Structure 1
Amino acid sequence: MNLYYYHVADDVLETDSDIAVVIDVLRASTTISWALKNGADSIQFFSDLDLLKETAERWDANKKLMLGERGGKKINGFDLGNSPLSVTKEKVQGKRLFMSTTNGTKSLKKVQNVKYLFAMALPNRKAVAERIMSLNKKNVLILGSGWEGSYSLEDSLAAGALASYIKYNFNNEVNISNDELQASLALWNTWKNDILGCLKTATHGKRLTSLGDYDDDLKCCSELDCLDIVPTQFERGVIRAS
């Protein structure tokens, strides 16, 4: 199995990967994972806000929520922002979330044509890793989301966490196939005993802290292997739990 990691969507020019895993630790993939854990029917992701609104208008008002974030803040007129703490069972159960965020949904759109597409955060690292191992495909693309096209520490940390788990638990050969993922493994080995510290050190963690009290969000996003949810694209642009 060949594992590759790219920091942001624009780094991926083309791919022949069998599996794509999109990571946005702060906070889209964490929010997606918790929404599905709390009973959301599905998440439909968009990079374009106008298209999101147009699509959501055609959906039953009682069975939808619009989730939008730009620059770390909830978009005016949307039901929810991009916080894993906001997608409670009472709010999301049985509903479709129409979602657009600054970074994460752009990465999801980039690889939506890959056969197997998963969203991963630290809380469901193990579940996603075990799904990848069970599929036993040749090429796995791990894609971070970064911040507005630039590198993010926390996504690379999670990429290293995923690669580390697969490397040490997969029965077949695992190739760490580019320098970006080698660096991510080193980052994981440095911070694996202080994940929250890494998130608080990261530029985006500091950015969120400057916007308000996001300590609980950061703690939620730093939890490891506590969810058994594998957010999976079942139809183009739509993610459900599996």
Structure 2
Amino acid sequence: MQISYFHTSEAVPPVRPAADGGPDAAVVIDVLRATTTIAWSLQNGAEAVQAFADLAELEQAARAWPAERRLRAGERGGQTVEGYDLGNSPLAVTPERVGGKRIFMSTTNGTRSLAAVREVPLLLTACLPNRTAVARRLVERGCERVWIVGSGWEGAYSLEDSLAAGALASAASELAVAPHVGVEFGNDEMLAALALWQQWRQDPETCLRVASHGQRLMRLGDHDGDFACCSAVDTLQVVPFQAEPGVLRAG
């Protein structure tokens, strides 16, 4: 298995078919907080999470869904979009709130990364809580070329997404121990992410807090619960996967 890392959607190369050397799997990461919120939404019984880069497209799709079975989750600049049911906090997606409902989600960064790799045959989302579960899925599926895609912040590098990319690649390397499996790292960005994980693996929450987006969230208000949830390594077994374009379900 060859794993490469692209730190934002803008850094992702054009997606080619796997037969022509393109990826057969992609994993999108947005630690603070979209992919953590997606994982917890599906863990807590949401029917699906449907992702949109554009709010107007979200509104159009949501209107076609029964009102009692939908929730709109919108975040821009770290804050909830006015009038929406949810923002982008994993603490808000409780079983009572999301059970049996479809969440129509658009965030500042994460949903753009999902759109960038929508055509990859196997598309998963990962966060620190489910990083080993996602790594196990990649190994079990026998994936040969994996692209990990961070979300960054408005096109810029993100420390916390790179930390989680390194955590995921480290778990995959530990799991891929059968003969003829193994893991190789496809670019320098992946090697740097692994080094970052080695540096912070004993204290990932501090890494999230010192990151520029962590600092941004702290300036917006009390997000201690979000930091604790988003940095809790290997606390979830749910693996969100793209069941149809833009639609994520629990796997």
Query: What TM-score do the two structures reach when normalised by structure 2?
Result: 0.96
Q: Which runs of 4+ in 1 moved over 3 A?
A: none
Is residue 209 of structure 1 aligned with residue 209 of structure 2? no
Q: Distance in 1 between matches of 2:165 and 2:203?
A: 16
Q: Say which SS state the counterpart of residue 122 (structure 1) adopts.
A: coil
Tell me, yes or no, if the aligned pair for 2:135 and 2:175 is still in contact at 8 Å.
no
Q: Distance in 2 between matches of 1:14 and 1:174?
A: 23
Aligned CA-pair RMSD = 0.6
Alignment identity in percent? Answer: 54
Is residue 162 of structure 1 aligned with residue 168 of structure 2? yes
The answer for the alignment partner of 2:244 in structure 1 is: 235
Residues 3-38 of structure 1: CA deviation (Å, up to 9, x unaligned): 000000010121310000000000000000000000
Is residue 85 of structure 1 aligned with residue 91 of structure 2? yes
Tell me, yes or no, if the aligned pair for 2:58 and 2:105 is still in contact at 8 Å.
yes
Instruction: Identify unmatched segments of 5+ residues in structure 2.
Output: 16-21
The answer for the alignment partner of 1:62 in structure 2 is: 68
Q: Say which SS state the counterpart of residue 74 (structure 2) adopts.
A: strand
Q: Distance in 2 between matches of 1:187 and 1:77?
A: 38
Q: Say which SS state the counterpart of residue 123 (structure 2) adopts.
A: strand
Amino acid of the residue matched to residue 12 of structure 1? V
Query: What TM-score do the two structures reach when normalised by structure 1?
Result: 0.99
Q: Distance in 2 between matches of 1:139 and 1:14?
A: 14
Is residue 118 of structure 1 aligned with residue 124 of structure 2? yes
Q: Say which SS state the counterpart of residue 58 (structure 2) adopts.
A: helix
Q: Distance in 1 between matches of 2:61 and 2:170?
A: 39
Q: Distance in 2 between matches of 1:11 and 1:234?
A: 25
Instruction: Identify unmatched segments of 5+ residues in structure 1.
Output: none
Shift of residue 211, structure 1, vs aligned partner = 0.1
Amino acid of the residue matched to residue 4 of structure 1? S
The answer for the alignment partner of 1:12 in structure 2 is: 12
Q: Distance in 2 between matches of 1:70 and 1:164?
A: 31
Shift of residue 235, structure 1, vs aligned partner = 0.5
Counting matched residue pairs gives 242
The answer for the alignment partner of 1:46 in structure 2 is: 52
Residues 32-53 of structure 1: CA deviation (Å, up to 9, x unaligned): 0000000000000000100100
Q: Distance in 2 between matches of 1:149 and 1:51?
A: 21
The answer for the alignment partner of 2:18 in structure 1 is: none
The answer for the alignment partner of 2:19 in structure 1 is: none
